[in-house]
Structure formats: structure tokens, C-alpha cells
Structure 1
């Protein structure tokens, strides 16, 4: 079928605030829809939370996300072409879904992806260490999973089979069928509530998991993943059990060169399509006018986004403005209060924000006599699980112990460190800045405790002697450098009352031609979700501007059948 031409009498223009993965993904999509798009980034390099830092002593650190799932989302972006819209674009390209020999040869991703970046599969997905020294290699292989459950918690083998079946049902409904649904009105939400109730997907994830598993270790293994998207397993809805199947179906991947290599590849694709990226271009205000074209003075009547004012005073105008920045601070700092009714100061400040992080970036000498007995992704759980989560999310205090995610990418990609060295980061969930903690005081103390733990427990023996580089970030980095409200790390906390329709909408309810994309919008945080958010927002813009789309909001039937076949093949 030949694609109808877009109206090019005057090309529509777009401004995107922020060059995170969500902003870059949307920029690529808008260029494919025929917009002339400029992405404005306040930092000196693209990426936002996915910023990559190169040190003078030869280390490369991904500052943020390191886990890549659902590689066909990436393939979709690299397959887009200028002015083609989304005509005929598959939601799930079939060639990326069939059983893939590339995983066995150490390469993953579709043919267009491989023109821009090299993705490799990571196995196991995570090694999960328990406080008693035992561990669980989470790799998506059902036989390996059953074997390890049999060794660690044989009483839970039957429960795992029931969990597997019910998590798959949630995955099929919540991800395959509803994944790209934008819940813009209450009716769209009410239509799916009966299914979510039937699937028991509205109770908390930890409660859901506890139905199937008696052993605390298994409850932790099958609930911890939401922490990687800012969600407390004790509070997020059980629909997040779908993560188990998302990872199981498409695996965990790594971009050689780090996530920063994926960011650079997105920038390259965006610029090839004609887009413009401006660095060191922080936005001071989103310009909003009333029905007479004057600056808006009250939240009644027509309100339209017309452009932005940069921190240096320069004004840029466009047909649409999109914020890939923090949802709360977009409203509180960049949109005049008089222009906001739904997203009022009261609503924004009352929203629950995700927790924050202390992240330590460190380099150390390898010890050939004692090779690291770690994996690429390591989850190191402390002695307490529910109590620690309650302290971080509820009481907002630093506990007597901690859990951490230890990332050692040089086990896969030695190019990130000088020869004979490793680059690593370890991420510790902590309360956001509503805690009142003084991170200038608490940060160094917690860093010291983490180093002592890694050394004394034998994860990295003699670590302090081997250290050649060390730096860290706290919630203050998220608040000041990344401009996140209260220093949150993942946007609004993904609890039930802040999910789907109740999560900030990708099309502003207050202001015409203003849109949101990224972790603060629907569907939520995490690398695959912000790429989904970009597609949702692009569809809304296409609808608003009358740009024809041939793709329905659900998953094409043929592709859905393939997905189910793949999921079934791993039973």
C-alpha cells in the first residue's frame, strides 16, 4: 500500500524539552510524522537520566539505566523514515519475535538496530544474592528456574507453576493488549477494570506473589524488579507481575559501549531524519497564550502552548511543545500557575513521588589471582525486605542496612575501563528529599558503609586497596542536575492511584498543543515504558493534527499470535 503524503505546505514544528530516551524516541517519531523537531537539553550531552560520563582516568560510566529489554521497541525506531508517519508500522516486528539464533551467537536486535548499535544478550538476567550468601540466577529458563526453586525452596515448586500461569495472563492482557492504550478519560479506564479484577492484578505485587510462594526468598525474587522502575513491591499493583514475562519473552540486553551508545545511536537517527539537538539549552518557561494570543492570566478559557523561553532569555516558537522533563517540575517551575487547572500546585505537590537513589561509580584494578565471582547485573538483598521498603518509601529514613544493585559492565564490555581494570556502579535505594536528610553528611557515610560491605562480604575482596576511581550521586543530583521534584529518581510512584488514567496524561488537560513523554507520563518508568510513552504521545499528536495512521492501538493479531507462541515456547 502506498503511503498518502503528509501536508507539506508548511511543515509543523515541535519543541521537545529534554533528551532522555523518551524525548529522543519521540523526536524520531515526530520526524517520521513530518514535523521539524528541535530537542532542547540543559546538560552538555544528551541522555537525561541516561547520561554517560567519561572520566579523565579512562573510565566510562552510565549514570542511569543499564537494563535493556524488549529490543524490538528499539528496532521500530531505527526502521522509521522521514515523512512516512506510522503507516503500516508493526507494533511487534515479527522477525524480532521468533526464536532467535542471534541470542545463541551473542548478538540481539533487528537488522536496522545493528546499523546503529550492537546489542548483546545478558545471561543470567540477574544474579540475586540473599543475606545468607545463597543466590538465585534469574535467567528466564523455566527448567533452570524450577531446578533452583527445588534447591532453595522446594515447597514452592507447585506455587511457581500457578504464578507462571497467572503472570502470563496478566502479561497478555496488560502488556500485549493494553500496552499502548492511552487512558485519557475515565471511560477508557473503567472498560479494563473488570479484567484487572478478574486477574487479581489490582492487589499489591508483594501480596500477589505471596499467594504463590511461602519462602521469603522466592517472594523477593519474583517481586524485586519494580524497584528498578521506582516502585515499592509492597505498594505497586500486581499488574507489574507482567515484568517477569516481558523479561522472560525477550530477555535482557546490553548495548556495547554502555547505554550511552544507545543514546548516541538515537541522536544519530534523529539527526539523519532532519531533527535538531541543542545542548546547554535549559528551558526557563513554557510560553502559554490565551484566546487573544496574550500571556495567560487565569486558568479559564483557551490556553495554548506557543513555545519556550530558554534560561538565557531566547524565545523559541513552535506548533507543539513536549516535556520530557520531570512532570512535577514541568508544572511547578515551567508552566505559569494561571495556566493550570487540572495540574494545579495542590495536585502536583500531593502526588506521591518515587524513591531516590545513592549511586556510587567506581573503578578498580582487576586481580587475576582472584577473578570476580559476580555477574553483569547483581541484586544484593539485605537481611530485611519488607521492613527496609517501609523505611524507604513510608517512613523516609535511612535504615541500619541496605540492599543494592551492583552493575559490572566490564565483565561484558572491557572497553569501559583501562586495561586490567573494572568499571562498576552500585545503586542503593534511599528516600527522596522529603526526608530532610542532609546528603552532604549522610552521603559519605553511606558510601563508606557500602564499600565496607562489598569488601567484607567478599563480593569485591580488598576493594579499597584496588580502588582507582570513586564518585557518587545522591538525591541532590536528581533534584539539582536532573531537575526532579524532591530528588525523585523515577517520577510519580507507580501505585494504583497513580497508574493508567490516574497517571499524568500524555496530552495536557490544561493547555492545548502541550504534551508529555517519559517516566512521568503513561505508562510509567523504565526504558521500555518510556519508549512506549513516546509512541503513545506520537499517536495523540498524529490524531490532533489529522495525520493518518494505519496502525490500531492494540497489537496486530498475527504479531500477537507470534508473541504468545514465543511465550508458550518457554513454558
Structure 2
């Protein structure tokens, strides 16, 4: 029996996208190596352990759609499940877990997930708050208390957001928009659903109260989107959370990262840490250097910063989209993703994140696991961050206190927390060595003086923070963006970076910068979309088209671009 050489893959970056795709590629029969610049896995989801006993998740902390996680843990070597339904019937029942453990049986072999209620406590500047838990009855009671005139509007919003969720997430969520025709086929439905106007304008149709408009539009900030600019299709986030809940991985998000690493390595994958990629090696189809952005261009591997070269059949970047092309792919190999085009794209905002530990006080904290603390201005502040790119006099923040759920993340008698403040990216020209310490002091003073954490500064035992400079310098994000290209309409679906490079054959993208976008569930979806492209290009699953299994699309507009398989390059 003739020996068949196994196909090889290199993935740049071990974020959720890189790990999810690595698991899928191992299940498709590839020998996959993940190259990670940092000394541990996770990328933006890196977890830091301090000498004084604190554990901090550096990035994402909101976990939803546990089915996506269960699907990854259920994969086996050389037995990819790309042709299976994306949402099996038992998943579509959408019954939320209110207590106990969540996640499927395979997930529980690797990590413990627990549901979080409320999803978020949203504090307004006047001291009132809204516990957002996805329960329509609870929501109605709170609207009745805060904005009774908006009750009828909530019923209409609930109906219309559900329709957007069913079409935009359940039906089109895994569609790879690889050509204009694919996009044009869905435009009539999006117009009918009124999903192309801005999200804030959409919510303003239903709610008169500024508080309710904020409650039902703030979530896009957690994926880098300005509610004043993102299309209303993002109203589906409300139903994603309502349907599957918000969950926490015991041990922090880092525990889920480690579980994915364990699964990847069990399937035969390898991770190399401290392996920073300097260049993606691109040749013509005969292996000669590429001298102009014409003809065939093929990815052959990568060159590491230490000079070593690694060859593979495919290369996938889980890194920042803009810097993947600007720094790693030579300009003579780029006809579509030119410097001009990439630099012209709008990048998401950045973040200042303060990681702090503090002693427990005389009384328990009156906070929740996830807290959204809104400042006195909403629309004006968003315009300053995204448009004018200046620091305003006030701020809003997301305060995460995981030790309310998982005390093991801090020494006994202490809490570990982080608070995240949206700020402009480094296109602002702000000097974060000057502005960072000043903003940190303002935020800590606010939390103390407004009574969120009484006596905080006197109880602090650990303090550190990151600014846009961390995203730009350590995470290699263009201009220090925190979430990739800003998810405006002109950078969504077909207009968002493609998961299969238009410039270089056998080069793929995965993660927040690719389709469908940022956010932990979307990044896991991105991995499945990219895996389907690779499977089809290499003839592994001929029944799988770019965005959906053949014969499993309920509507013709779920099909994607038609492209000849690439095969394995010699």
C-alpha cells in the first residue's frame, strides 16, 4: 500500500482562533504546529499568575454558546465533523442553564463551566442599575421600574431582534462571504429586517429612555464595535446571550485556553512558545521568489525571528489582520491587500485595562461577576473614542470581579479584579506613558469615591495595567487596536477580511480580524469557517462548500464562492 504524506500546517498565534483551528486541522488529518510569540498560550486571552498569588485573565472573560466548545472537545484525530449540522436540534432548543454546571459531556472532561447570573449588572451614572439576565419576565419588571413607557417597545424589539438572530446567526453565521454575489444574495433580507441601519438607531426605534437604549446597545463594545456605527445585525448578540447564557470557566478563561491546548496536543498537535514569526515565505508556483503581485503566489512556510525557516503545506495567521499583511507578507506578493488598502481600513478602539488585587473589607462587595459602569455621557463619549480619538473628561468601564465566583484566583481574604476602559487606538497620537498613569488614578479614585469598592486605594495589594502600547508592541496589533478591523457595515461580511487570502494561495486567516468578527464565539466560528475552506481546497470533504455543508443549507443564499480546489503544493 503506497505511503501518503500527511499534510502539514503552521498556525501563527495561539489565541482562541488558532487553538480552535489547530484542533480542527488535526481532526482533518493535518500535522499542525502552532507558533506562539509569547511564553504561554492564549494571545489576547493570556493568563497571568503573579508571585503574590493572584491570577488575572488578560483578555476575554465572557463565554457564551457552550455548544461551540463542546463541538471542539468532541473532535477526533482524522475524523473531522465539518459536514455535521452546525446547530443540532438539542442545541436549538436554547434552554438556558440557571444553576449548576454547563457545557456538554466532553467539555466536562477538560474544563468546568458554570453559568453566570445576571449576565451583567449595568450601573447608570445616577446610581440606579439594571440586572441583564436574558429573562424576559425579569427584563419587563426592570423596565417597568426604570422606564415604564418602554414596555411596549421592548416587546417589539424582542420580536425583531429574534428575527435578526435567526437569519443572521443561525442561518448565515457560518457563511464565508468570499465574493460579491454571496453578499448581494442576502442584502434584501437584511434590508427587510432593518439590520443595516446603525445599532443605536435601531434600538432608538423601540426605546425612548436613554437608559434602555444603552442597555440594549452596549454589548458591541465588548467586541470592539461602536454602537453608533455597527450595523443593527449586531442586535443578535442579545439573543445569542439570551439563548445560551453567559458562562465562566472555573480557574478563569485561562483554564479554557489550557483545555484547548490539552485537546490539541492529544490530537497530535504541537505548540512552540517564544517562536516569533518574522516573514511568511511566498514563492511562485515553481518555488521561485515573487517579484511582482501578478501570477501565482504560494505560501510555503515562515521564517522565524531567529532566522530559522519552517515549511508547510498551508500557513494560517491567527495574528492581527493588518500586521499579517503589512509585516509578514511581502508587498510584491499582494495585489488585493496592499499597504494602501490595509492602512485605510478603520481599526477598532483600544483599551486601558487595570489588573488589581485588594483585601476584603468589613462588608461584602455589592458587585456582580460582570459589571458595566456607564459614565454620564454615552453618545458623546463614543464619538470621542471612535471619531475624535481623544480622552474625555469621563469614562465608562467594564469591571470584572471573578473572585465573587471563584475565590481561588486570589490569596485568602482577597479579591482579584480587572477593569477595562475603552480608549482610542494609537492613531490618536496619545502618549500612554503620560496618559496611562493619570487615567489609572482617575479610575481607581472613581471606584472608591463612588462606593463601588469602598476604601479601594488603601486596600490595594497588587496593581498593574496595560495600554494600547501593549496591544501594539506585545500583541502586534496595528495601531494598538484591541479587536481588529472595526465592525462597521463597510467592513462586515464580504467587506471584512477573507479567511482565505485573495493574494497568496495556501495562506489563510482565522480569528477576530477575519470573518465573522471579534468575540469568543465568533472566533470559534471563524475557525470552523476557515477549516471548511481548507477542507474544500484540499479535497478532504468534497460535500463541504465554503460556508456550509452541501445539501444542508435551507436557503440558496447560504452558498458561497465557487473556487477550484488548490490541492497540495509540492
One of 146, 149, 167 as aligned partner of 1:155: 149
Partner of 1:563 in structure 2?
none
State the Cα RMSD in Å.
Answer: 1.6
Partner of 2:379 in structure 1?
386
Over 3 Å counting, the alpha-carbon distance change for 1:132 and 1:34 in structure 2 is same
CA positional deviation for 1:94 = 4.0
Matched, 1:493 2:486: yes
In 2, distance between residues paired with 1:409 and 1:200?
37
Query: Which SS does the other structure have where 1:423 is aligned?
Result: strand
Q: How does 1:88-487 map to 2 (within 5 A)?
A: 89-98=84-93, 103-367=97-361, 369-487=362-480
Over 3 Å counting, the alpha-carbon distance change for 1:559 and 1:60 in structure 2 is farther
- Given that residues 91 and 556 in structure 1 are in contact (C-alpha distance below 8 angstroms), is that contact kept between their aligned partners in structure 2? no
Of 89-98 and 150-159, more deviation after overlay is shown by: 89-98
One of 49, 55, 58 as aligned partner of 1:63: 58
In 1, distance between residues paired with 2:63 and 2:278?
32
CA positional deviation for 1:370 = 1.4
- Given that residues 60 and 417 in structure 1 are in contact (C-alpha distance below 8 angstroms), is that contact kept between their aligned partners in structure 2? yes
CA positional deviation for 1:109 = 0.2
In 1, distance between residues paired with 2:552 and 2:293?
46
CA positional deviation for 1:105 = 3.9
Query: Which SS does the other structure have where 2:435 is aligned?
Result: helix
Of 80-89 and 521-530, more deviation after overlay is shown by: 80-89
Partner of 1:540 in structure 2?
533
CA positional deviation for 1:25 = 0.2
Partner of 1:34 in structure 2?
29
Query: Which SS does the other structure have where 1:68 is aligned?
Result: coil
TM-score where L is the length of structure 2: 0.95
- Given that residues 30 and 37 in structure 1 are in contact (C-alpha distance below 8 angstroms), is that contact kept between their aligned partners in structure 2? yes
Structure 1 unaligned segments of length 5 or more: list them.
Answer: 1-6, 561-571
- Given that residues 543 and 549 in structure 2 are in contact (C-alpha distance below 8 angstroms), is that contact kept between their aligned partners in structure 1? no
Over 3 Å counting, the alpha-carbon distance change for 1:421 and 1:121 in structure 2 is same
In 2, distance between residues paired with 1:196 and 1:120?
35
Query: Which SS does the other structure have where 1:196 is aligned?
Result: helix
Over 3 Å counting, the alpha-carbon distance change for 1:470 and 1:557 in structure 2 is farther
- Given that residues 96 and 109 in structure 1 are in contact (C-alpha distance below 8 angstroms), is that contact kept between their aligned partners in structure 2? no
In 1, distance between residues paired with 2:103 and 2:482?
28
C-alpha distance after superposition, 1:37-61 (max 9, x if no partner): 0000000000000000000000000
CA positional deviation for 1:86 = 2.2
CA positional deviation for 1:297 = 1.2
Matched, 1:9 2:4: yes
C-alpha distance after superposition, 1:309-359 (max 9, x if no partner): 000000000000000000000011111000001000000000000000000
In 2, distance between residues paired with 1:250 and 1:95?
12
CA positional deviation for 1:294 = 1.3
In 2, distance between residues paired with 1:74 and 1:429?
28
Q: How does 1:516-535 map to 2 (within 5 A)?
A: 516-535=509-528
Query: Which SS does the other structure have where 2:127 is aligned?
Result: coil
- Given that residues 176 and 555 in structure 1 are in contact (C-alpha distance below 8 angstroms), is that contact kept between their aligned partners in structure 2? no
Matched, 1:44 2:27: no
TM-score where L is the length of structure 1: 0.95
- Given that residues 86 and 550 in structure 1 are in contact (C-alpha distance below 8 angstroms), is that contact kept between their aligned partners in structure 2? no
Query: Which SS does the other structure have where 2:301 is aligned?
Result: strand
Query: Which SS does the other structure have where 1:190 is aligned?
Result: helix
Partner of 1:565 in structure 2?
none
- Equivalenced residue count is 552
Query: Which SS does the other structure have where 1:390 is aligned?
Result: helix
Over 3 Å counting, the alpha-carbon distance change for 1:417 and 1:33 in structure 2 is same
- Given that residues 92 and 559 in structure 1 are in contact (C-alpha distance below 8 angstroms), is that contact kept between their aligned partners in structure 2? no
Partner of 2:15 in structure 1?
20
Matched, 1:54 2:54: no
C-alpha distance after superposition, 1:53-104 (max 9, x if no partner): 0000000000000000100000000000000122553312444454658x24
Structure 2 unaligned segments of length 5 or more: list them.
Answer: 555-570
Partner of 2:561 in structure 1?
none
Q: How does 1:74-93 map to 2 (within 5 A)?
A: 74-86=69-81, 89-93=84-88
In 2, distance between residues paired with 1:550 and 1:256?
38
Over 3 Å counting, the alpha-carbon distance change for 1:483 and 1:87 in structure 2 is closer
- Given that residues 35 and 277 in structure 2 are in contact (C-alpha distance below 8 angstroms), is that contact kept between their aligned partners in structure 1? yes
CA positional deviation for 1:559 = 12
C-alpha distance after superposition, 1:202-258 (max 9, x if no partner): 000000000000000000000000000000000000000000000000000000000
Partner of 1:505 in structure 2?
498
